[in-house]
Amino acid sequence: MAQPHIRLITGGKAVEGNGFFFEPTVLADVQQDDEIVRREVFGPVVSVTKFTDEAQALAWAND
């Protein structure tokens, strides 16, 4: 998470044991052009983004 505006709400820590696993993670204040939104994430991560209206939310969902 290189962007300073993103807030970690919960999770994000490595899980003990074999493998490269981490806790379910919630990120807030994510922007549409942030890497976490633009790339596919193979893990239990959800990012929360504010939008101004339904049209903007639909446009972002279809991007």
Q: Phi and psi at residue 27, in whole multiples of 5°?
A: -115, 140
Specify the pLDDT at position 25: 96
Specify the pLDDT at position 2: 67
In this prediction the pTM is 0.78
- Give every residue of the chain whose pLDDT is below 70, as ranges: 1-2
Tell me the residue ranges of DSSP E strands in the chain.
7-10, 25-28, 45-47
Q: Phi and psi at residue 49, in whole multiples of 5°?
A: -125, 135
